[in-house]
Amino acid sequence: MKLRTKSWLAVTATAGLVLGGVSPALAAGTAGPTEHTDMGVSGDAVMEHLQKISDISTSHADEGHRALGTPGYEEAVEYVESTLEATGAFDVKRQAFDVESQDFGTVDVKVDGEAVKVATASYTEGTTEPLTDLPVVLPVDDDNSDLAGGQLGCQASDFDASAEGALVLVSRGECAFGEKTKAATEAGAAAVIIYNNDKDNPDEELNATLGERMEGSAPTVTVTYNVGTDLLEKVEAAGAEAGTEAGSQTDAEAGLGQGADETEEAADDDAAAEAAALTADFTLETEFVTETTWNVIAETKAGDHDNVQMFGAHLDGVEEGPGVNDNGSGTAALLASAEALAEQPTEVDNAIRFGWWGAEEVGLVGSTEYVASLDDAELGKIKSYMNFDMIGSDNYIVGTLDSDGSDVPIPDGVNVPEGSAELEKIFTDYFADIDQPNVGTDFSGRSDYQAFIDNGIPASGLFSGADGTKTAEEAEMFGGTVGEKHDTNYHQPTDTIENVSKESIDIFAPAIGFAVHTLAYELADAPTDPPTDPTTPPTDPTDPPTETPTEAPDERALSIDPKTIEAPDFVSEKGVQVAATGCAADTTATMTVTPNNGKIETFEQTAEVGADGTARFGVRGLDASMVDSYIGTYDVTVDCEGGDPLTGSFEVVAEGDGPGAGDGGNGGGGGDLPRTGNEALPLILSAGALIALGLAMTLGSRRRRS
C-alpha cells in the first residue's frame, strides 16, 4: 500500500538534520521516499514473531507465563533484544526498574457461613489477623439495580455509619478500583468486595488493580457479576427482615409503658443489631516484595535524535494465561515494523524509538517509570507517541484512540496534547484510502500512553478491543458476534495463539507499518525528467556515415572543485563539485565521501553518467550553526564502469585560511570543473533542475544504506 501523504511532524530538509545525536550531516545523494508505504509489514510477519512469543509464554505456564518477575518475561525481553540487534539498525538498551509486587497466602471469604469465590485486587493490603463476624453492608442508594449512583462507592459520602467496621459490597464502574477502596476506607470499612458489572458475561472474573499500594487501606477482593448480585440480594433481604423484626419488637416494648423517646432509641438499637444479621469472615494474607524488571528501548542509529517519534507496546502479561493477544500481538507488530524499517533503502529523517514496556498489567508501571526517568530536555525531544495494546481480538473492532473526541467524548480530566488528533488522522486517512471501516475508542489514558500525555506528548494508537461488548453497528462493520466481548479470552488461560484473529492482525499490521514510515520520513518531491520531443525525426539508418569520426571519450580522471574551501562557503550555496570522466555512458556512478575529522558520517551519492562519459556530483554541509564541525579533510572515491575507481580529496578549512572557491585550492592545478550554463549556478537549485543538468544531489540529510 502506497499513499502520498506528507508527514506532519517531519523536519524540513533545509534545517539540516543531526545524525548520531552529535554530528551535523552532509547533503547526501540518494533522495528519500516520494510517498509513504506500509513497508511490506504483513500479518504473516507479525504472526511469526507472535508464535515465538506464544512459545515462550506457554513454556513457562507453571511459572506465571510472561507476568512480572517470571522467567518467561525475562526470556521475552531477550527475544526482543536479539531480534532488534540482528537488524544492525538500532541502539538497543534494557532499562531496569523496581516494582513492588505481592505474594498471596490464605485468601478466604465466607458470607453467612458459605465460602465465596473471590479474586484479589493487585496492591490490596492484607488482614493482620482473620476478621470475623463483620456486618455486610451496602453504600447508600435508592436503586441497587441500575449499577449506578451510590452503589458504585466512588466517594466516602456514598456510605453511611453502617460502613464502620463492616465488609462493604460495591459495584464496578465509573471510577478506578483504587478510588473505591480509598472511599470505603475513609468511611471506616474493614474490607471491600467489588463485583463485576458485566451483565452479558455474568460469570466473568474481575481482575482489578488498585494502581499502587495504599498502606492502611481496607483489604479488597473482587467477584463476578452473578456472585455480586447474589450477595446484594442477601444483604437487602437481611436488611428488610431486620427492619420487620425491629418494628415488631418496638411495638411490644412500647406496650409495656415505655415513653416515646425511649421507644425510638430502643428501636434504633434493635434495628442496628438486626441489620448485622448477614455477617462475614474475611482473611487475606499477602506480602509485598520488590521485583526488578525491565523495559526494552530501541532507537534508530540514523535520524534526527532531537526529533524522536516513539512507538510502544507492553511486553508483560497476566499470570492466568499466555497473553498472546494481550499483548503479544502489539509486541510482535512493533518487531515486524522495526525489521521492515531497517530494510528501507534510505535512512530515516526522524529518529524512531520503540519501547516494550514491563509491568503494565500491575498499573502501567514500566511506561510511567520510563517517562519519569527523562529530564525536561529529553522529554522535549519526543514529538509523538503511538501505543498498540491488543490488535488480534477474536471478536475484533478496528479502533483508533479517539484523541479528537469525534466518536467517544474525552473523559473529564484527561489531557489531550496538541497534535494528538493529527496522529489519529494518520490512521483514519490510511483506513479511508483502503476502504477499511474503523471506529474511535476511548482516549481515557488507561494504557501506556498515559504518562506521555500527562507530560504533554501527543499520542494516538490502535486497539482491537478487550472487555467491551460488540454492538450491532460494530458487527455490521467488522463481523463477529453481537453481545459478546471484543476479546472473549481477555486475561484468561484461553488467550492463546489459536484464539487470535488472523483477520484482525492482517488489518492492523500494515497500518502500523504505515504509521512508522509516515513519522520516520519526510517525503521528497519526485524528480521530473525532461520530456522527450516527439517531433524529432528518427535517424535514417540509410544516411551515409559522417566524415568526422566520433570523438573518443575523455581520459579517465577525477576533478574536484575547489580542493580547498572555507567552512562558511562549504555550508553555503557554493559547496564542492566533483566530476568523474572516462566512465561508460548511460550507466550509474557512485561517489563515496569519507570524512577524516571524526565528526561527520561517511555517505554515498549516485549520479547517471552522461553521453560524454562524465558523472557530476555536488557536496555541501547542511548545518550552518555547526560550521566548524565540518573542518577537516574528506576522501572522495568515484566508482563507475570503464576502469578502476577514481580517488581524490578536498579540505574544509576555517574562515580566512583558504584561497576561496573556484581556484581548486592548489593555485589553479588539478583541472577546475567548468560550470554548466551560468558561471554562478548555485547548488541550491531545485532537485529536478539539477538532475536535468546531470547532477545527482538532494538537499535532504539522507544517506543510502550500505
Nearest to 74 by CA among 293, 290, 289: 293
| Single-letter amino acid code for the residue at 459 | A
Catalytic residue among 347, 360, 566, 651: 360
Which amino acid, 55? D
Helices (H) and strands (E) in the chain, counts: 14, 26
Cα separation of 559 and 554, whole Å? 12
**Residue at grid coordinates 526498574:** 97
Q: Compute the CA torsion angle 200, 203, 205, 210 (nearest 10 deg).
A: 60
Going from the C-alpha of 203 to that of each of 185, 225, 396, the distances in angstroms are 27, 6, 21
**Distance, CA of 655 to chain centre:** 46
Q: What's CA 178's distance to the chain center, in Å? A: 26
Q: Which residue has the cell 508527514?
A: 7
Asked if residue 562 has a cis previous peptide bond (ω within 30° of 0), the answer is: yes
360 is a catalytic site residue: yes
In 3D, which of 610, 669, 618 has the Cα closest to residue 642? 610
DSSP assignment of 89-157: SEEEEEEEEEEEEEEEEEEEEEETTEE---EEPBT----SS-EEEEEEE--S-S-TTSS-GGGG--SGG
- Most distant CA pair in the chain: distance in Å? 145
Q: Is the dihedral of CA 11, 17, 19, 21 positive or negative?
A: negative
Spatial contact of 167 and 184, defined as CB atoms under 8 Å apart = no
Q: What angle do CA 316, 69, 339 make, to 5 degrees?
A: 40
Query: Sign (positive/negative) of CA torsion 623, 627, 632, 638?
Result: positive
Cβ atoms within 10 A of the Cβ of 43, count? 22
CA atoms within 13 A on the CB side of 447: 27
The radius of gyration of the chain's CA atoms, rounded to the nearest angstrom, is 35
Which cell numbers hold the place of 131? 476478621
- CA–CA gap between residue 205 and residue 494 (Å, rounded): 14
Q: Which of 423, 465, 420 is nearest to 441 (CA)?
A: 465
Do residues 47 and 332 lie in contact, with contact meaning Cβ atoms separated by under 8 Å? Answer: yes
- Which cell numbers in the block locate residue 231? 450477595
CA distance 294 to 69: 10
Q: Which residues contact 176 (CB under 8 A, 6 or more apart)?
A: 210, 211
Name the residue type at position 508: F
Cα separations (Å) of 142 from 153, 247, 274, 667?
A: 13, 21, 20, 99
Q: Give catalytic residue positions.
A: 360
